[in-house]
């Protein structure tokens, strides 16, 4: 009986986790592009989607942040200096909705902790910059020209309040101060690296690796369950 309960709860957990929205289940981009890679970011309900050509350094991104109101700004940045002071040096794409309903999206280099995020040019050429707000989500689209052969970047992402059509300082709670990390543009292993369903053909090696990942997760579940059961058995008898 206990075993049955465990199996049921295991199946339930699996169903729950597979129905939760991850980056790979979202494909409705307003620019109609398909992105070959994506990663759910660990803070601020955010995901990054990208296509990358390392020989040209051309990086097409879509940055999506959910649970955003019309009085929030969001930003996604590359920091070529490092992640120690992730904010200083951030080459940022900033977006928010203006009070007249239009989206403002622009680039800003962050040079101080008290920045008001003025518009200026980035270290990288940026094209196709666009942002949309819908369904409590902001998506920023852009193409960045990175130095060719770049393989990893330091990414920083953020959100904060908007007042009088100006971005204000972001909160200093852990979700906002931890929202940074390196992003491997070439090989980003993990369950979230799946081609979007509308891409032309699934990449065989990518799906093999997600198959391996699933096997491993299942094995771990079962081992945990068996060990747990043994432990209960030993304790009871
Ligand atoms: C990647 O960039 C190189 C150099 O600009 C170009 O020759 C090649 O066609 C690009 N590859 C793709 C898939 O766009
Ligand atoms: C909203 O304001 C901005 C800046 O003041 C302006 O560029 C834009 O055209 C306005 N949009 C509308 C719909 O009026
Ligand atoms: C990028 O890598 C290719 C292949 O390894 C090499 O031929 C090229 O010179 C590199 N380009 C730069 C700018 O380092
Ligand atoms: C599939 O992805 C792997 C790495 O994830 C890459 O090396 C390979 O070139 C890709 N193949 C195709 C056909 O895109
Ligand atoms: C659904 C979800 O992931 N919600 C998270 C959004 O971000 C806040 C702050 O990081 C979390 O507290 C929520 O759990």
Q: Domain segments of the chain: what residues?
A: 28-194, 205-237
CB of residue 205 inside a 6 A radius of ligand 3: no
CB of residue 102 inside a 6 A radius of ligand 2: yes
Return the CATH superfamily for domain 28-194.
Answer: Cellobiose dehydrogenase, cytochrome domain (2.60.40.1210)
Angle among Cα 108, 113, 119 to the nearest 5 degrees reads 15
- Between CA 131 and CA 3 the distance in angstroms is 50
- Between CA 46 and CA 74 the distance in angstroms is 10
Alpha helices (runs of H) in 29-177, residue ranges in sequence order: 174-177
What's the whole-model pTM score?
Answer: 0.72
Predicted pLDDT of residue 237:
37
pLDDT string in tens for the chain (237-residue length):
556 545 445 444 444 444 456 888 888 888 888 999 999 999 999 999 999 999 999 999 999 999 999 999 999 999 999 998 899 999 999 999 999 999 999 999 999 999 999 999 999 999 999 999 999 999 999 999 999 999 999 999 999 999 999 999 999 999 999 999 999 999 754 444 444 333 333 344 444 545 555 444 444 545 445 445 444 344 433
Predicted pLDDT of residue 205:
46
CB of residue 53 inside a 6 A radius of ligand 3: no
Distances (CA, A) of 3 to 7, 16, 221: 6, 20, 14
Q: How many CA atoms lie within 13 A of 49 on its CB side?
A: 25
In contact, 95 and 74? CB cutoff 8 Å:
yes
Ligand 4 binding residues, C-beta < 6 A = 187, 203, 205-206
CA of 150 to the centre of ligand 3 (A): 10
CB of residue 151 inside a 6 A radius of ligand 3: no
């Amino acid at each position: 009986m206990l075993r049955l309960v465990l199996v049921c709860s295991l199946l339930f957990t699996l169903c729950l986790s597979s129905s939760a929205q991850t980056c790979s289940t979202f494909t409705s981009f307003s620019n109609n592009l398909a992105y070959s890679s994506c990663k759910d970011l660990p803070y601020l309900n955010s995901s990054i989607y990208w296509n990358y050509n390392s020989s040209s350094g051309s990086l097409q991104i879509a940055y999506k942040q959910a649970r955003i109101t019309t009085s929030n700004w969001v930003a996604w940045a590359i920091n070529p200096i490092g992640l120690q002071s992730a904010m200083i040096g951030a080459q940022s794409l900033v977006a928010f909705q203006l009070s007249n309903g239009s989206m403002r999206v622009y680039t800003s280099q962050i040079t101080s902790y008290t920045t008001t995020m003025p518009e200026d040019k980035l270290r990288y050429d940026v094209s196709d910059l666009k942002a949309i707000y819908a369904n409590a989500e902001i998506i920023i689209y852009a193409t960045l020209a990175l130095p060719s052969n770049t393989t990893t970047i330091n990414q920083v992402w953020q959100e904060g309040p908007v007042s009088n059509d100006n971005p204000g300082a972001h909160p200093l709670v852990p979700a906002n101060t931890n929202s940074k990390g390196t992003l491997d543009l070439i090989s980003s292993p993990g369950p979230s690296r799946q081609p979007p369903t509308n891409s032309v053909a699934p990449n065989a090696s990518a799906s093999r690796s997600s198959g391996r990942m699933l096997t491993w997760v299942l094995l771990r579940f079962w081992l945990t369950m068996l060990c747990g059961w043994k432990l209960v058995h030993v304790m009871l008898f």
